[in-house]
């Protein structure tokens, strides 16, 4: 195989104090970055640690840093991201502890969803009729706009504020809080607004929008966070927080 038919791939090995290791991988038509990582693990380096499940952009587990930018690797074609010399650099997501190689520890990312009251709490019982929420209502539209989050942490890894202050709840947890803040069936609205109103909450967002620019599901956490800021401000004026 000629050099032009090979990709020059550097992959992060080890923990946070590890380093990049070089591999050569044959180019294939329609190859994804996850295909490249899988080739390395199956053919060249069986101890390589990485994470994936669905391979079709649904589970959110395959995100990595590819040529300096967080991406979902199962839906990222090599042709779109490789440089002119056929080079790829693949590292774990930023802003999260490295377990090993390309696998990050997602615990604090999801702990922040819990801290932002990202769980639905209703009051209906199995004996009640289904809730009816008008499809055209502004609340339902706002909730629907953010609901397709797959928890991939691409936004979280792309957020400067998370880098600067690790206690910041981050775009995904706040986006989740916004979908629930618009869920008319949910009964912990004041508690949720309190949870996102603190120093590490929505007011820490500088609104520059890396999260929105990079979200592979085209969600807009920046808009969600702006909505939370408005709701928090209104609740504070009413003396509810």
Q: What are the residues binding ligand SF4 (CB under 6 A)?
A: 149-155, 158-159, 161, 171-172, 175, 205-211, 215, 217, 219, 221-222, 225
* Position 151 contacts ligand FES (CB under 6 A): no
Whole-angstrom Cα Rg for the chain: 20
Per-residue binder mask for ligand FES (CB under 6 A), 32-61, x = binder: --------------------xxxx-xxxxx
Select 119 or 208, whichever has its Cβ closest to ligand SF4. Answer: 208
* CA gap 1, 68 in Å, rounded: 28
* CA gap 28, 25 in Å, rounded: 9
Helix axes 171-181, 138-146, angle to 10 degrees: 150
Is-contact 180 120, C-beta < 8 A? yes
* CA gap 31, 79 in Å, rounded: 8
End-to-end distance of the chain based on CA atoms, in angstroms? Answer: 66
* CA gap 226, 174 in Å, rounded: 10
Select 104 or 158, whichever has its Cβ closest to ligand SF4. Answer: 158
CB of 208: closest distance to ligand FES in angstroms? 26
Q: List the one residue out of 93, 47, 53, 51 whose CA is nearest residue 69.
A: 93
Per-residue binder mask for ligand FES (CB under 6 A), 67-106, x = binder: -----x-x--------------------------------
CB of 66: closest distance to ligand FES in angstroms? 12
Token match 């390395």: residue?
40
Q: How many residues bind ligand FES (CB under 6 A)?
A: 12
Binding partner of 54, given ligand FES, ligand SF4, none, CB within 5-8 angstroms per partner class:
ligand FES
CB of 150: closest distance to ligand FES in angstroms? 6
Residues forming the site for ligand FES (CB under 6 A): 52-55, 57-62, 72, 74
């Amino acid at each position: 195989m000629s050099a032009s038919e090979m990709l020059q791939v550097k992959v992060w090995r080890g923990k946070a104090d590890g380093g990049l290791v070089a591999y050569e991988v044959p180019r294939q038509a329609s190859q994804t970055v996850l295909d490249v990582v899988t080739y390395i693990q199956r053919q060249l380096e069986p101890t390589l640690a990485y994470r994936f499940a669905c391979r079709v952009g649904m589970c959110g587990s395959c995100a990595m840093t590819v040529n300096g930018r967080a991406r979902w690797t199962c839906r990222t074609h090599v042709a779109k991201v490789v440089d002119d010399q056929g080079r790829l650099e693949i590292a774990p997501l930023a802003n999260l502890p490295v377990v090993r190689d390309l696998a990050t520890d997602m615990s604090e990312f999801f702990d922040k969803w819990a801290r932002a009251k990202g769980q639905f709490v209703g009051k209906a019982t199995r004996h009640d009729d289904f809730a009816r929420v008008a499809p055209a209502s502004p609340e339902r539209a706002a909730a629907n706009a953010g609901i397709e989050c797959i928890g991939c942490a691409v936004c979280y890894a792309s957020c400067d504020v998370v880098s600067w202050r690790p206690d910041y709840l981050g775009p995904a947890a706040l986006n989740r809080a916004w979908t629930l803040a618009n869920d008319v069936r949910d009964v912990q609205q004041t508690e949720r607004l309190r949870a996102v109103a603190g120093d590490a909450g929505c007011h820490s967002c500088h609104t520059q929008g890396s999260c929105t620019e990079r979200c592979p599901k085209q969600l807009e956490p920046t808009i969600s966070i702006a909505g939370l800021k408005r709701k928090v401000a209104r609740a504070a004026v009413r003396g509810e927080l």
